[in-house]
Chain A
Amino acid sequence: MSKWSRRRGAQPIPLLIRIMAGLGLLLLLIPLAGLLLAAPWSNLAELLTDEDTLEAVRVSLIVSVSAAILSTLFGVPIAFVLARANFPGKSLLRTVVTVPLVLPPVVTGVAMLYGFGRRGLIGRTLGLELPFTTVGAVLAATIVAMPFLVLSVEGALRNTDPRFEQMAASLGARPLARWLTVTLPMIRPSILAGMVLAWARALGEFGATITFAGNLPGVTQTLPLKISLAFEQKPEQALALSLLMLAVALAVLVALRDRWVPRR
């Protein structure tokens, strides 16, 4: 009973609000329940260890980990610029950084074809061949995943006390050294949280990947692509793979439960 008691001084929650919250929860839970009930539990191990599946797991790991690393290498500096610098066009920069969050990933994929495709803006000029390659899949995943890292890190930077950096400067630390030895350690938990979120988003990426990088088994066929195709041929394999993705998603959220929504 004590677990359910209200916070001290909090007002009772009206019945209507509780009902609406319950309905909203059902909306989220019913599909998950359906998935768990339909899952082929008896031959799960077999379905998850066949050769094609392991190959998709391997591609997914390579692509998502690489995307998380690239997101960090580029995303932390972007977050730093957004949090600390003042310049005209800053709100435009923030829009550019966050637009993949709201854009349908398939649109990101189409845009990437015209930008990085071998007949696109950059590909044509530099003779690059990125579509249908693992590097292409990594780029697609990085573009959709980086905003999660940038937002997480920028928020943390805004909450740090700039006086630490000023103090380091007054002691003679050069700007880059100050950034590496004072600023970065202060926001390390947020960088880690951002990396995990970016990794999870990259792991789930589908639309931009299939549009830009195609669906080459062993090269660009990640787990979500495999699930989408398998669903029409071997639904029980799609279900088994969906369970795997769900388990990973839950693990990520449990690991991040205090980071994503700070607990009071």
Chain B
Amino acid sequence: MALIAIALVAASCSQDTKTVDVFAASSLTDAFTELESRYEAANPGIDIRLNLAGSNTLLRQIIDGAPADVFAPADAGYLTDPDLLSQHRQIVSTIFAGNTLVAIVPIDSDLKILDDLFQPGLILTRCADGVPCGVATNEWLDSQNVSLGQQSMEANVRSVLTKVRLGEADGGFVYRTDALAASQEVRIIELDTGGTASPTVSVGIADLSDSDGPARDFVQFVLSDTGAEVLSTLGFDQP
């Protein structure tokens, strides 16, 4: 019993290091991994701990009591969720980047233009209904008045990407930044045909720690020029 207690304590805090739990959307995987290592290099006493998943999974975890210091969903709309607001009344959220929904196909695919994706018999992957990229996909499909064939509803944008990357799915819908992260393996097909603009989302971030500590400092770092530079390198739009 005592041994277990010691093990738990040792695992949860090594001496003098402050941990900041950052809950970030799957689509921010590369951006926040890079921001984490830059921030930790500049602030040796701080350990940024990333929890990467679909935005609605993260929101659910936070509402159910997960100890998040920072929340960065793929769609800033998730920061105004009523359950979240009732828990964190002081929440201040900032939109720090934009992202664009695109279609992707395996790099060697015969599918060239958007219309090719509406052929019958294809296997397409996309985010599930409640995930930000799934909501964006639904809105785009509605606006185009088209329907797709069989679609695998994935829990987050990165599993959509993986299945197209491996060539197991014929195509999928992800954010441009996800597609760029695998540009050797997937080809982008833009969705801005027929006179409509590509669907976009605003990426937001909020400090949930309610104190003037390292969490707030990390959020400031994400919003800084260095943060903006990291994000634009990865293909995020200006906010």
Chain A interface residues (CB < 8 Å from chain B): 113, 117-119, 131-132, 210, 214-217, 219-221, 228-229, 231-233, 235
Contacts and interface: CB of A to CB of B under 8 A. Distances in A.
B155 A131 contact: no
A117 B153 CA distance: 18
Q: Name the 4 nearest CB pairs between A and B, nearest first.
A: A214-B152, A233-B130, A232-B56, A119-B167
B37 interface: no
B172 to A, nearest CB: 11
Contacts of A132: 123, 150, 152, 168-169
Q: What DSSP secondary structure best describes chain B's contact surface?
A: mixed
B85 interface: no
A217 B128 CA distance: 11
Given A231-B60, A232-B130, A117 B166 contact: yes
Contacts of B155: 210, 215, 228-229
A215 B153 contact: yes
B152 A113 contact: no
Give the residue among B59, B125, B168 with the most A Cβ atoms within 10 A: B168
A42 to B, nearest CB: 21
B51 interface: no
B192 interface: no
A241 to B, nearest CB: 15
A210 B130 CA distance: 17
A118 B56 contact: no
Contacts of A232: 54, 56-57, 59-60, 130
Interface of B: 54, 56-57, 59-60, 123, 125, 128-130, 150-155, 163, 166-169
B129 to A, nearest CB: 7
Contacts of A231: 60
Contacts of B163: 131, 214
Contact of A215 (B59, B130, B152, B167): B152
A31 to B, nearest CB: 13
Given A231-B60, A232-B130, A214 B167 contact: no
Contacts of A131: 123, 163, 168-169
Contact of B154 (A118, A215, A217, A219): A215
A7 to B, nearest CB: 29
A221 B128 CA distance: 12
Given A118-B167, A131-B163, A228-B155, 7 more contacts: A117-B166, A131-B169, A132-B152, A214-B123, A214-B154, A214-B169, A216-B152
Contacts of A117: 166-168
Contacts of B153: 214-217, 221, 229
A214 B128 CA distance: 11
Give the residue among A210, A232, A233, A235 with the most B Cβ atoms within 10 A: A232
Contact of A113 (B60, B123, B166): B166
B130 A214 contact: no
B103 to A, nearest CB: 17
B57 A216 contact: no
A228 B57 CA distance: 10
Contacts of A214: 123, 125, 152-154, 163, 169
A117 B106 CA distance: 14
